[in-house]
Chains A and B, each alone.
Chain A
Amino acid sequence: DIQMTQSPSSLSASVGDRVTITCRASQRISRYLNWYQQKPGKAPKLLIYAASTLQSGVPSRFSGSVSVADFTLTITSLQREDFATYYCQQSYNAPFTFGPGTTVDVK
């Protein structure tokens, strides 16, 4: 099975900050990587699929990129509603494993 890691596990930031979260797979997964946002007590919400494609309706301050084996989720100017936990997920093959999550909280 493909193992996913995320860093950092948590970070504190302020409104307006640029935030970067990194995800890495235990083997090559091409661009088969998704990013989800989850707020407490709510279902996950798809932000980005295929490493860099923004899901319809998601603000353009969210972006995804890949460099060699590292996938990155960037929030260019953090908004109040962005404080949440972010998960990456590989869709290269089943089981479609998630990363452990990165919690973004208020500094």
Chain B
Amino acid sequence: VQMVESGGGVVQPGRSLRLSCVGSGFIFSSYGIHWVRQAPGKGLEWVAGIGADGSKKYYGDSVKGRFSVSRDNSLDTLFLEIDSLRVDDTAVYYCARENYLDGLYCDYWGQGTPVIVSS
């Protein structure tokens, strides 16, 4: 199982960005996927999640209305669209596969893609 994020970089405040996450080594369309971010020197913040078929989507309070999660199961790819980027969106963004047995958990994580919001 592998999760590989891409799309990060240096972006000006107010601009938009789309992150991607490709999953391999498993049946991508059978699993929910989550985005978790970590600002420099800070803890983990759960950002968003999407169900296996894309019909259920969940967002953290701090990103509702600006972040949009979607997936293309034909490409084994997850997307995170970020609008109106703010300086405090600067973080490493991880995607993680969701699994479920007696509860939901994230069992495989990507290496992360860094997003730096700066003018």
Residues of A within 8 A of B (CB): 1, 31-34, 36, 38, 43-46, 49-51, 53, 55, 85, 87, 89, 91, 94-101
Q: Which B73-116 residues sit within 8 Å CB-CB of chain A? A: 94, 96, 99, 101-107, 109-112
Chain A to chain B contacts (Cβ below 8 Å), 24 pairs? A31-B102, A32-B104, A33-B103, A34-B106, A38-B44, A44-B36, A44-B96, A49-B99, A49-B102, A49-B105, A50-B101, A53-B102, A55-B107, A85-B43, A91-B103, A91-B105, A94-B49, A94-B59, A95-B59, A95-B61, A96-B34, A96-B58, A98-B46, A101-B43
Candidates B46, B59, B112; contact of A89 at CB < 8 Å:
B46
- The 5 closest A-B CB pairs, nearest first, are A94-B58, A49-B105, A50-B102, A43-B109, A91-B104
On B, residues with C-beta under 8 Å from A are: 34, 36, 43-46, 49, 58-61, 94, 96, 99, 101-107, 109-112
What CA separation (Å) do A34 and B112 show in the bound complex? Answer: 20
Tell me, in angstroms, the Cα distance from A33 to B43 when the chains sit together: 17
Question: Please, which residues of chain A bring their CB within 8 A of the CB of B60?
Answer: 95
